[in-house]
Amino acid sequence: MADNGKPLEGKIALVTGSSHGIGAACAVKLAKAGAHVVLTGRDVKALEGIEDEIHAEGGQSTIAPLDLTENDSIARLASAIASRWDRIDILVISAAYLPTLTPVTQIDPKQFNQAITTNLLATQALLAAFDPLLKRSGQGRVIGMTSSVGSQPRAFWAAYGATKAAFESLLDSYAQEVEKIGGVRVAIMDPGATRTKMRAKAYPGEDPISVKPPEIVGEQLVDLLVKDFPTSHRERVVKTS
C-alpha cells in the first residue's frame, strides 16, 4: 500500500448502492484513500453527483448504473469491468431494500420478494460473477453491510431481518470456501444507527441529527481495509458522531 496519504492507491473497488447513504459515503472515502471506485446504483443523477464529489477531491471513479434485480445485470457489469481491469480488489455490498415494517402475518409478498431479490439473490450473483476477479487480485476483500436484525430478530422487522440473516450466512459460507484457496477475505459490517433515507423510512419520528452521518461508516470501512482483517470478520461501527 502507498505511504502518501492514499493507502488504497492502485486498488479497484466496486461499491453497490453507491448513489445514496452508506454506499455513497463508502465510495467517497475509498476514493479519497486512493482507490478507483466503480459506482453502481439505479439513480444515474445521484451517481453523477457522487462522481463529481470524488473528482473534486482528486479521486478516481467510474459510473456503472444498473438495477441489481434485473436479469443478467450483474454478469454484464462483471464482463464490463473485466474488459477494463484484470482484477477487482474490494467489493462492498451496500445496496439493500427495506420492506414496510409489519407483522409476519401481514408481510406483503411483492415487497418480500423484492427484499429477497435485492438483499440475497443479488449478493449470490455478485459473489459468483466477481469471484474470479477477486481471486486475481491476490488480496481480494469483500465487505457486506448488514443490520443487527439479521442476528437479533425484532418484532415487525422479519421481512428485512430474514434476508439479512441469510445474507450473513451466504457471506460466511463463501468466506470458508475461499479461505484456503486464495487471498480473498470476507468481513460483515454492521453500521448501526446511521443517518440515511432507509433509517428515516424505518423511524419517521426520529431526529436525524441524533444519529451519526454515513461518513463515519465510510471512514471505519477504510480503516478496516487498511489495517486488514482475518476472514469471516465481524465489525460494528460504534462511533456516534
Active site residues: 160
Nearest to 136 by CA among 85, 187, 176: 85
> Do strands 60-63 and 36-39 pair parallel, antiparallel, or not at all (unpaired)?
parallel
- What percentage of the chain's residues is helix, strand, coil (to nearest 5)? 50, 15, 40
Helix (H, G, I), strand (E, B) or coil at 22: helix
Other beta carbons less than 10 A from residue 116's beta carbon: 18
Cβ-based neighbour number of residue 82 at 10 Å: 16
Find residue 60's DSSP bridge partners: 36
Do 41 and 213 meet the contact criterion of CB atoms below 8 Å apart?
Answer: no
Strands of 185-190's sheet in order across: 60-63, 36-39, 12-15, 90-93, 141-145, 185-190, 233-236
To the nearest 10 degrees (0 to 180), the angle between helices 122-137 and 158-178 is 30
Cell of 33: 484513500
